[in-house]
Amino acid sequence: MTRLVRWWWTRPPRLPYAGRVLLAACLGTVGLLGIVASSSGQSGGTAPASPPTKRPINPGPGDLTTSFPSSPALVAQGKTLYDNGCSSCHGLALQGQRGVAPALTGVGAGPVDFYLSSGRMPLQGPRVEPMRARPVYNAEETHALIAYITHAGGGPKVAPAADPAAGDLSQGLQVFTEHCAGCHQVVGRGGLTIGAWVPDLQRATPLQIAEAVRMGPYVMPHFDSKDIDQHELNSLVRYVLWTRHPSNAGGWALYNIGPIPEGMVAWFIAVVALLIVARLIGERTEGANS
Amino acid sequence: MVGGAAVVSLISRWAHRRFERGVRYTEQRLGGAPMFKWLMRYVFPDHWSFLLGEIALYSFLVLIATGVFLAMYYVPSSALTVYHGSYVLLHGQQMSEAYESVVNICFSVPAGLLLRQTHHWAANVFIASIVLHLMRIFFTGAYRKPRDLNYYVGLTMLMLAILEGFIGYSLVDDLLSGMGLAIAYGVALSIPLIGGQLATLVWGGQFPGNSTFFARLEIVHVFLIPLTLLGLIGVHLAMIMRQHHSQFPGRGRRERNVVGTPMWPAYALRSIGLLLAVTAVLFLVGGLIQINPIWQWGPYHTYLSENGAQPDWYIGWLIGALRLMPNWELVIDGRTVIPNPFWGGVAFPLFVFGVLYAWPALERRFTRDQRRHDLLDRPRDHPTRTAIGAGFLSWVVIIFAVGATDRVYYRLGISYVGEIHFWRAGIWVLPILVFFITRSAARALSRSDARPLRGWQGAVMRRDLDGIPRVLDESAGDEPGEVTEPPVGTRPGTDG
Amino acid sequence: MNDGPKGLGLIAGLVVALRVVWRTLRGRPASSAGAAAPVTEPPRGEDPRQREIPSDRRAETWVALLLFAAAACALAFIVFYVIEQFDTQLLGLALGGAFALLAAAAIVAGKMVVPQATEVEERDELLDAAAAEEVVEMVEAGGEGISRRGLLTCATCVAGGAVVAAVATPVASLGPAAKSLHASPWRRGVRLVKDVTAEPYTADEIEIGSFYTALPEHGDPEALGAGVLLVRLPPRYIHLPVSRHGWAPHGLMAFSKICPHAGCAISLYRYPTYAPTSVAQPAFTCPCHYSTFLPGRGGEVVFGPAGRELPQLPLMVDGDGYVRAAGDFDADVGPSWWGVRRS
């Protein structure tokens, strides 16, 4: 057997060298494409006809809320903006469109303010994940849209809010670690779950954080006040704001994401510095070219 | 000025007299003068790449020095306590005494954070320099007889260093390292047949272990492994000194001699300089660049975790393997014969180290070369070895890089699921490409030199039918009749 | 001094400064030992031995200056330690700087001040076949005259093996038998409570689209089987095996929080706001190696390396509306091992 293998191994090749490399590359690419192609549909298993969805949680008694200006003029302005910018997906009567966009009836002010003020809506296409971008609508236009959508679709006209100054940092760390760090990373540097990219929280405003916690945008779960009450929400928001400038007593923080940049520093700064020193101390191999 | 010069000359004469008396004092008691003379005349070849092992050694010394300090403050206890120290974010939180003691080192002990960070950076640099040293040993063929024995010692030290580093940062019981310990538990459990009992013995029960678990880890980290490493380092250095260091071919350099700088005074000073430079770099990064801010992660609880958790880089190859594996678990008749983490956490590292351990013997077999080698190869002069090494290394490095694909997805938007599926095939294809490319590059470099080895002097030999080596090219010989070692690349019938 | 880039700039500056020092020292007349090799090939067999005495007063001055600077840095460290104890950056810069300057002094001294020599030493022959044979003969001579070699060898082996086994036996005191791995704190009737406050969960407060971490009342929260994920799904989207009939009252479901792959806590949950354009199913994901489990299908694995499904805890709601376990898990929690109970 070994002799056979050795004979086959040491036979002179029939293809030229370049041909062999090309053949290997082609076979490899075909194999890879085959595997990657078969990976589609990995995000969730078989889909039933109308899968489960969730609705935002309305603010209850005792919850801190913020209200938005409203007037008939604002509602009318909102209607114009809506018809031009949102109705193609969400429908002229806010009824949604099957397979394209959900209905906006009853969502309330919180989700509308969250998606618009963070620039997540309008979306490039229905299957694109909503991500933070430069808002298309300014504050006045946003208020107009909120006024119209809550007027025409119903739902609370106030959005859940939080007061970070009233929160406790230590409680915020605990609540955040238990509910949020699994996706958002313990100091809010973002990450992923299977099925979604998870944003870092470095640019979220206290209002947006409160709105997101209560509504659960995209595939994020939501948390009502029986789970995270107003004081805990205040603490959570205060903690998230703190993560923008965490206590980095050790020096340059390397973006606070842990061992990956630390390993890079160890190799590309410390080891490289020591290699330079070694080169200074030692000699090169001598010869005609040194 | 003149007075100063007089004082200086007085001091130096006094010092000289004291030194002389000191040497006589020791000599009368120990009779060590011949040994000192041998040591001071000992010759070290000068190439800069021979200093990589020293960088590792000096990092180890920094580890011991900083580690002793840390061990005096560390409390190896998983008993719960409530934090009331100076770091506001942990106020009132329940944590283990171990974690609390490390948070205290960071915030309540003067220079504590500096020494802790220096210790952690030193561990990273220690293992990185061992890996670089191993690469130098491999690609220059320094592991060949008679140094294969020392090569095994070195590989063992690498394994111990990796284990030591992992245990070291797991002692802290923070959220990040606690997740790593859970995975280590899962990997231990996955060893077929005995894994369950083994893990129960190591942890003292089911994870997270009994009340003595951190004390056990501490004993291993502070005593058992450092002592073993010190012993192995001693053996490693003793073997080097017995065999003398290997050297690259060059002017006057033969298989049977060593050409270089004598220990005293130049080499000793340069070596001390390297020790001081290693210490300097480690303290500089230890003070200026933050590493493992455990106060930000919070204490570990079995039922908590966070996104983006990673081990230190030298364990990264294992997380890559664990993430890449498809969910195969071998179940026979209800018994889980091979749980999934076995492949990435046990089989993969065992295979890599197995190949490394077996390599000297394998190469001797395949090149049919049983001779002693004291001259090194340049990587280009042994293209197949270099190509196999590069391919194997690229296989491990790609798997290591796959361990970070979640952050690649976060930064660049390339689908994580897609990356995993791609690399499941890619880790087999890319190393083969690397092999071919490296081999042809090495061959081309080797062929393009005017002389195959810079400064090589010797004779080209061919073995005749009686097996007697005969000099082919008389004009290339050193002294008549002397048999020198031609480089592998010029010997007919062998690799080149 | 907490600014990272500032510190990095300082390191870079130090490295550059050292390099500049080195370069200026390097630009010296070609008579020194560090000169470039001659262009022509040296004649064969030339003796590489040499000894060069640099006699370089400038280099000596540099060494002295570097040493004094190192002393100043070290003193600075002592001062900083006293007055600014917790400024890690200052302390590191001072101590690291002191060592760096000392290193520079030693290296400059080692390359430019002390005599530079190249010497040749002969390597020892390692194989002394005659002596090796003598060693073997000496060892064997120790057994001269012994008649019952076989018996003694056998007895020694038996004794050695037994004593080693005996000495190794106390290792078993380190932990219990492996069957303790099946332990779980959940029994029928144990209430599910919140972390920190230990308040029990009521069925009413469990919302669809949210996830909750629950622990056993009066149990050890750190036990591997303790942490549980509690969710509610609309009942018509739940497909459980027949053996788990009734395990999800009103859509309430509980699963072990510990991933059956390698033991990390599962802390990711996705629940679509609008499923047709995002993900089809709610799912748990483990942050370590991204094993993904579908609660609606009883913890089935749909991605990642986990080799078995997530163990499910049967639930019931008592008369006061509290959520209780209706029994223990039907499989062992945590990573698999040889004897793991699979569902």
Residue C6 makes CB contacts below 8 A (sequence gap 6+) with: none
Least confident of A177-181, A182-186, B156-160, C27-31: C27-31
Distance CA B474, CA B459 (A): 7
Phi, psi of C211 (to 5 degrees): -135, 150
User: How confident is the model at residue A89, as a pLDDT?
Assistant: 94
Query: Is the model's pLDDT at C7 over the cut of 80?
Result: no
Residue of A5 and C13 predicted with greater confidence: A5
Strand spans (E) along B343-464: 461-463
pTM (predicted TM-score): 0.88
Which residue ranges make up each domain of chain B?
A: 2-31, 38-377
Q: Confidence class of residue C8 from pLDDT cuts 50, 70 and 90?
A: low
DSSP code of residue A14 = S
Q: Does C178 touch chain B (CB under 8 A)?
A: yes
User: How confident is the model at residue C21, as a pLDDT?
Assistant: 60
Write the residue in B196, B322, B416 that is nearest to C178 by C-beta.
B196
- Interface contact C271-A54, CB threshold 8 A: yes
User: How confident is the model at residue B256, as a pLDDT?
Assistant: 86
Let me know whether C110 and C214 are in one domain: no
- Is the ipTM, as predicted for this complex, more than 0.90? no
Please count the helices (runs of H) and the strands (runs of E) in chain C.
Answer: 5, 13
Write the residue in B281, B323, B416 that is nearest to C305 by C-beta.
B323
Q: Classify residue C153: in a domain, yes or no.
A: no
Task: List chain B residues with CB under 8 Å of A31.
Answer: 425, 429
Neighboring chains of B (3 or more beta-carbon pairs < 8 A): A, C
Task: Report residue C176 as tokens.
Answer: 């219990």
Task: List chain A residues with CB under 8 Å of C207.
Answer: 57, 222, 224, 226-227
* C109: Cα separation from own chain's centroid: 40
User: How confident is the model at residue B251, as a pLDDT?
Assistant: 80
DSSP three-state, residue B461: strand
Considering only alpha carbons, which residue of chain A is nearest residue B283?
A270
User: How confident is the model at residue A42, as a pLDDT?
Assistant: 42
Task: Report residue C73 as tokens.
Answer: 């840095």
What is the average pLDDT across C118-139?
A: 90
Write the residue in A99, A221, A251 that is nearest to C7 by C-beta.
A251
Q: Does B263 touch chain C (CB under 8 A)?
A: no
Last residue in a domain, options C65, C92, C118: C118
Helices B316-324 and B175-189 cross at an angle (nearest 10°) of 60
Question: For chain A, how many residues are written?
Answer: 290
Distance CA A10, CA A19 (A): 18
Range of B281-285, C46-50, C146-150 with top mean pLDDT: B281-285
Task: Report residue B458 as tokens.
Answer: 């010797």
User: How confident is the model at residue A43, as a pLDDT?
Assistant: 45
What is the average pLDDT across B190-208?
A: 95
DSSP B434-445: HHHHHHHHHHHH
> Is there a contact between C234 and A52 (Cβ–Cβ < 8 Å)?
yes
- Interface contact A270-B125, CB threshold 8 A: yes
User: How confident is the model at residue A151, as a pLDDT?
Assistant: 95
> Is there a contact between B382 and B488 (Cβ–Cβ < 8 Å)?
yes
Distance CA C313, CA C216 (A): 12
Q: Does A260 touch chain B (CB under 8 A)?
A: yes
Query: Is the model's pLDDT at A68 over the cut of 50?
Result: yes
Task: Report residue B417 as tokens.
Answer: 């699921």
Amino acid at B125: V
Q: Does A266 touch chain B (CB under 8 A)?
A: yes
Percent of chain A topping pLDDT 90 = 73
Last residue in a domain, options C67, C88, C118: C118
DSSP code of residue A268 = I
Task: Give residue-wise pLDDT tens across range C287-325.
Answer: 999 999 999 999 999 999 999 999 999 999 999 999 999
Q: Confidence class of residue C43 from pLDDT cuts 50, 70 and 90?
A: very low
- Interface contact C287-B210, CB threshold 8 A: no
Task: Give residue-wise pLDDT tens across range C61-87.
Answer: 999 999 999 999 999 999 999 998 889
Q: Does B44 touch chain A (CB under 8 A)?
A: no
Task: Report residue A213 as tokens.
Answer: 């916690």
Q: Confidence class of residue A19 from pLDDT cuts 50, 70 and 90?
A: confident
Query: Is the model's pLDDT at A288 over the cut of 80?
Result: no
Write the residue in C2, C111, C207 that is nearest to A224 by C-beta.
C207
Amino acid at C287: P
User: How confident is the model at residue B2, as a pLDDT?
Assistant: 79
User: How confident is the model at residue A50, as a pLDDT?
Assistant: 62
Task: List chain B residues with CB under 8 Å of A191.
Answer: 307-308, 406, 410
Q: Confidence class of residue A2 from pLDDT cuts 50, 70 and 90?
A: confident
Distance CA B259, CA A283 (A): 12
Query: Is the model's pLDDT at B449 over the cut of 90?
Result: no
Let me know whether C104 and C11 are in one domain: yes
Query: Is the model's pLDDT at B476 over the cut of 50?
Result: no
DSSP C292-310: EEEGGGTSEEEESS--SPP
Task: Give residue-wise pLDDT tens across range B235-274.
Answer: 999 999 999 999 998 888 888 889 999 999 999 999 999 9
Give the closest-approach CA distance of B207 to chain C in angstroms.
6
DSSP A25-44: HHHHHHHHHHHHHTTTTTTT
User: What sign has the CA pseudo-torsion A79, A83, A87, A91?
Assistant: positive
Q: Which of B402, B206, B393, B395 is nearest to B322 (CA)?
A: B402
Q: What is the four-CA torsion angle of B347, B348, B349, B350, rounded to 10 degrees?
A: 40
Instruction: Report how many domains make up chain C.
Output: 2
**Domain B38-377 in CATH 2.40.10.10:** no
User: How confident is the model at residue B493, as a pLDDT?
Assistant: 38
Q: Which of C291, C283, C282 is nearest to C264 (CA)?
A: C291
C-alpha distances (whole Å) from B316 to each of A135, A259, B116, B396 are: 39, 9, 22, 10
* Pick among C273, C289, C293, C300 to test the A interface (most A CBs inside 10 A): C273
What is the residue range of C304's domain?
Answer: 192-325
Task: Give residue-wise pLDDT tens across range B78-123.
Answer: 999 999 999 999 999 999 999 999 999 999 999 999 999 999 999 9
Q: What is the four-CA torsion angle of A84, A87, A93, A99, rounded to 10 degrees?
A: 180
Task: List chain A residues with CB under 8 Å of C12.
Answer: none
To which H or E segment does residue A158 belong?
A: strand A158-160
Q: Classify residue C171: in a domain, yes or no.
A: no
Q: Classify residue C103: in a domain, yes or no.
A: yes
Q: Looking at residue C305, which CATH number applies to its domain?
A: 2.102.10.10
Q: Confidence class of residue C127 from pLDDT cuts 50, 70 and 90?
A: confident
Last residue in a domain, options C57, C88, C118: C118
What is the average pLDDT across B355-379?
A: 93
Residue whose tokens read 């160890």: A266
DSSP three-state, residue C269: strand
Q: Classify residue C105: in a domain, yes or no.
A: yes
Query: Is the model's pLDDT at A27 over the cut of 90?
Result: no
Let me know whether C305 and C198 are in one domain: yes
Query: Is the model's pLDDT at B14 over the cut of 70?
Result: yes
Q: Classify residue C313: in a domain, yes or no.
A: yes
User: How confident is the model at residue B495, as a pLDDT?
Assistant: 43
DSSP three-state, residue B290: coil
What is the average pLDDT across A54-71?
A: 88
Q: Classify residue C178: in a domain, yes or no.
A: no
Neighboring chains of A (3 or more beta-carbon pairs < 8 A): B, C
Query: Is the model's pLDDT at B461 over the cut of 80?
Result: no
Task: Give residue-wise pLDDT tens across range C228-247.
Answer: 999 999 998 999 999 999 99
Q: Classify residue C265: in a domain, yes or no.
A: yes
- Interface contact B55-A278, CB threshold 8 A: yes
User: How confident is the model at residue B221, as a pLDDT?
Assistant: 98
- Interface contact C2-A226, CB threshold 8 A: no
- Interface contact C281-A44, CB threshold 8 A: yes
Percent of chain A topping pLDDT 70 = 89
Give the closest-approach CA distance of A235 to chain C in angstroms.
15
> Is there a contact between B115 and B64 (Cβ–Cβ < 8 Å)?
no
Q: What is the mean pLDDT of chain B?
A: 90
Distance CA C237, CA A50 (A): 9
